Amino acid sequence: MTLVARLRALPFEVRQYLLVTGNYWAFTLTDGALRMLVVLHFHRLGYSPLEVALLFLFYEAFGVITNLVGGWLGARLGLNRTMNLGLGLQLLALGMLLVPSTALSVAWVMAAQALSGIAKDLNKMSAKSAVKVLLPKGGTGTDETMQGALYRWVALLTGSKNALKGAGFFIGGLLLTLVGFRGAILALWVLLVGVLALSLWRLRADLGRQKSKPRFREVLSTSRAVNVLAAARLMLFASRDVWFVVALPVFLYDVYGWTFWSVGTLMAVWVIGYGGVQTQAPRLTRVFQASPATITAGWALALAVLPAILALLPLGAGPDIGSSPSLGAGPDIGSSPSLGAGWLIAGLLAFGALFAVNSSWHSYLIVRYARAEGVSMDVGFYYMANAMGRLVGTLLSGWLYQVQGLAACLWVSAALVLTSALLALALPRETAANA
């Protein structure tokens, strides 16, 4: 039997799920590649790592608004339309970067990144919501088999996305080397045109659309479980980005003297590994037969320990306030830069593994708790909190590192994860269905 015949023999819902996943994969690949292209290109133009990171400020800020409004649009128009809209906006963002290099001002690139941020969150919200809509019916929210299948579908979608985002970092660097900045952007643009054409042709028109048109005020969730989980998610993602987004790459670059390619490679490998662990989260959490509140809080507490331990280790000195990075870049007296880097990388990998399980478990819970009618609104509200966490973490990362160094970022990270764990204790206490 040919591959095409096997695909046609699959249930309709599974074929739609594969199409949604394919859309999400292609978008994520271009999104990761675009991020690396912008980072490398502007660094080559003389921008500092901190200045490059700030180019993505609007990318995160617009994600907050997009997730809130996008869920409402998905419920009114259908998830197929919001997913296709995301693909179209990404094409527009890529097109903005095809202008002559003399026109690539910081404001122009920030505007393009704002569009890309809107596109990314529309695409993600649509894909995550579609999983619950497309899951073959036949069970309820209390049926263990159905909940196990839902968890595996969400974990596969989430984990594969992050692995592909890391692969996109490599592809962006490779394309920049082979065909230059504009050639790389054009290649990504052509790829997405084909994906959008297939999506317009094959994706079901009424996917996830509510029968009754929801009012805009309904975007604010009235579900206690969704609200608690959203607050815990905000703290969780702020805890990652407060040291990962700006502080860590700048620290490696300034204090340990790593090359930009070394920093970028570490980030790419971390994201790929992080995505791989996310796909295995159902296997890792199934051993705990407890309530969602207990499982969520327990994994968060385990995560909170890691940044606290790293903050106590002699990793090296941060930048001296009021001095140039070169003057404040030396390691602590009596500590070895290579030893400090080894501890930092080991801690980063351990943090990534535990964070991946936390993130994947959260992603399953929001799809589980979301209402069946209007799932995109609950998912959109939840990912609005996710985007807010990334924004807060990014801003704190730059400011804290600037005034206090990496150790302060790590202590704040531990405090944020601890807060996430405490919030999770307010989740519903019914027995979790793990598979």
pLDDT for 68-86, tens place per residue? 776 666 666 677 787 888 8
Contact between residue 380 and residue 124 where contact means Cβ atoms under 8 Å apart: no
**Mean pLDDT, rounded, for 304-321:** 76
Provide the pLDDT for residue 60.
Answer: 77
Provide the pLDDT for residue 21.
Answer: 76
Q: Computed over its alpha carbons, how large is the radius of gyration of the chain?
A: 21
Q: What is the CATH number of domain 11-209+216-424?
A: 1.20.1250.20
Please give the share of the chain, as a percent, with pLDDT higher than 70.
Answer: 73
- Weakest mean pLDDT among 140-149, 379-388, 398-407: 140-149
CA distance 107 to 89: 18
Provide the pLDDT for residue 332.
Answer: 39
CA distance 401 to 353: 24
In the structure, what pLDDT confidence band is assigned to residue 435 with cuts at 50, 70 and 90? very low
Most confident of 46-55, 140-149, 270-279, 301-310: 301-310
In the structure, what pLDDT confidence band is assigned to residue 433 with cuts at 50, 70 and 90? very low
Provide the pLDDT for residue 336.
Answer: 53
Provide the pLDDT for residue 323.
Answer: 38
Provide the pLDDT for residue 222.
Answer: 65
In the structure, what pLDDT confidence band is assigned to residue 46 with cuts at 50, 70 and 90? confident
Provide the pLDDT for residue 325.
Answer: 39
Provide the pLDDT for residue 334.
Answer: 36
Phi and psi (nearest 5°) for 372? -65, -40
| Token pair of 375 as six digits | 């799932």
* Residue 102 exposed, middle or buried by CB count within 10 Å (0-12, 13-18, 19+): exposed
Q: Which of 309, 365, 314 is CA-nearest to residue 336?
A: 314
Q: Which of 385, 390, 366 is CA-nearest to residue 65?
A: 385
Provide the pLDDT for residue 235.
Answer: 97
Model confidence at 145: pLDDT above 70? no
Provide the pLDDT for residue 328.
Answer: 34
Q: Which of 183, 286, 252, 238 is CA-nearest to residue 409?
A: 238
CB proximity list for 303: less than 8 A, separation 6 or greater: 239, 351, 354, 355, 358, 417
Provide the pLDDT for residue 326.
Answer: 35
Q: What is the mean pLDDT of the chain?
A: 77
Provide the pLDDT for residue 339.
Answer: 67
Contact between residue 166 and residue 275 where contact means Cβ atoms under 8 Å apart: yes
Model confidence at 48: pLDDT above 70? no
pTM of the model: 0.73
Phi and psi (nearest 5°) for 434? -105, 145
Domain residues of the chain, as ranges?
A: 11-209+216-424
Q: What's the pLDDT tens digit per position in 83-133?
A: 888 889 999 999 999 988 788 787 888 888 889 888 888 887 777 676 666
CA distance 392 to 320: 24
